[in-house]
Amino acid sequence: MRHRFTLLILASLLVARAAAAAEEIPLHGFVQAASAYRLIQPDRCPRTQRLACREEFVLGEGRARLELTPRGEWWGLVAKGELIGDAVGGEVDGDLREGYLDLRFPAVDLRLGRQIITWGVGDLIFINDVFPKDWVAFISGLPVEYLKKGSDGLSATGHWAGTSLQVVLVPRFEADTLPEAGGRLRFNDPMAALESRKTDDPSPALERTEAGLRLFRNVAGWDLSLYAYRGFHRAPAGEVEPGPRLRLFFPPLNVYGWSAQGAALGGVVSLEAGYYDSRRDRSGRNAAVENSRGKYLVGYQRELAPDLTLGLQYAGDVMEDHDAYRATRGSGMATRPTIRHVLTARLTQLLWNQTLRLGLFVLGSPNEGDFYVNPEVKYNVTDALWAALGVNLFGGPRRAEFGQFEGNSNLYAVVRYAF
């Protein structure tokens, strides 16, 4: 159904293009082939992850993207559709990556439709960026733009005397895409014995409209933002129902935070903090639902030499009511620490007139011991053609955030021809 819908979109994009050829409506896109070979074969295999244990390739697919972006003085239309041929799963699918209408008024910008929204200043550390993400695409070695998913909603941004206020309303909840039972990726599944599962979307309908606010202003060269969000956890909580059956649901969540970014110490300094108010578990005694948390990050980015850039980050994630959380854990269950510390480093070297990029990203938690390492070589063969080769290496304790993905560590290659 979804597949047919997107084919229809792609077809209408082509028809619109043909009809509008004389009008010079811009049509762009690309074709892309991507493949990722699993480097670490899992040693033991839960029943819910049989496919993930069998499959040598984490990723093997071709994509065709069409982008139609007509624009006028006070309006704009953006339609980006993709047709995906998945060789590993033997499926063809379609996806509307973005599809929205922009309306521009003197002091207000409106955007209506499926849109990608990015908040916050972290590099792969998300605090106030509460919008949906596709972690499966990220782990599988697709280009990082696929980590972001669209939200179906309305964004209105007002601008007054250098201050901007963005209001986001999303009536249709979109969860993060995470490795799940029966999928191609390995992950830590505490309920591995339970094969019977069902997922409930947030309800009722009126209450499930998510709302976000961002207040932005540049003060003396510093970008300052305040954020507020009322919605839901993007990752599901699990509860065992009679049957037994695992019921997955998305508990309500409020987030309040701020960020600041500016030039300092010969580079760029980033600061961000946020408070996650887990509305269904304010006491911390609910075993299924995440406790409230405080998150913060400090980042520093500097150009060490021409075309050589280093970025460093430290981030912390503090759990509230840790005692209550510990009390909910049965004997033999892993217990997370009160604070999760994370350090990251990103080194980027551009060579050959910026046509060759050598990148290294390292993320590790000194107290939980899990890590993620991503070296990548990307070469722009011509202006239209690029190729990237890299490794996604996950490791550490099996129950930690990145350690659980060890069995998905992969060598990936992506080739894209754009027009």
What are the residues binding another protein (CB under 8 A)? 26, 28, 30, 69, 71-73, 76, 102, 104, 109, 115-118, 121, 144-145, 148, 157, 159, 162, 164, 216, 218, 221, 223, 261-263, 266-268, 270, 301-303, 305-307, 309, 350, 353-355, 380, 382-384, 386, 418-419
Q: Which is nearer to another protein, 121 or 248 (CB)?
A: 121
Helix (H) or strand (E) holding 139: helix 135-140
CB-neighbour burial class of residue 161 (10 A; exposed 0-12, middle 13-18, buried 19+): exposed
Q: Which is nearer to another protein, 216 or 412 (CB)?
A: 216
Q: At its nearest, how many Å lie between another protein and the CB of residue 63?
A: 14
Q: Which is nearer to another protein, 184 or 214 (CB)?
A: 214
Q: How many helices (H) and strands (E) does the chain have?
A: 4, 21
**3 state SS for 196-262:** CEEEECCCCCCCCCEEEEEEEEEECCEEEEEEEEEEECCCCEEEEECCCEEEEECCEEEEEEEEEEE
3-state class (DSSP) for residue 63: strand
Q: Which is nearer to another protein, 102 or 189 (CB)?
A: 102
Q: Which is nearer to another protein, 16 or 39 (CB)?
A: 16
How far apart are alpha carbons 107 and 102 in whole angstroms? 14
Hey, what are 38's tokens?
A: 């699993």
3-state helix, strand, coil in the chain (%, to 5): 10, 50, 35
Beta bridge partners of 345: 312, 362
Instruction: Report the first-to-last Cα separation within the chain, whole angstroms.
Output: 29
Q: At its nearest, how many Å lie between another protein and the CB of residue 321?
A: 34
Q: At its nearest, how many Å lie between another protein and the CB of residue 267?
A: 5
Helix (H) or strand (E) holding 161: none
Q: Which is nearer to another protein, 17 or 197 (CB)?
A: 17
Q: At its nearest, how many Å lie between another protein and the CB of residue 264?
A: 9
Q: At its nearest, how many Å lie between another protein and the CB of residue 223?
A: 7
Q: At its nearest, how many Å lie between another protein and the CB of residue 55?
A: 28
Q: At its nearest, how many Å lie between another protein and the CB of residue 28?
A: 6
Alpha carbon 367 to its chain centroid, in Å, reads: 24
Q: Which is nearer to another protein, 18 or 305 (CB)?
A: 305
| Among 143, 79, 82, residue whose Cα is nearest residue 115 | 79
Q: At its nearest, how many Å lie between another protein and the CB of residue 383?
A: 4
Q: Which is nearer to another protein, 87 or 167 (CB)?
A: 167
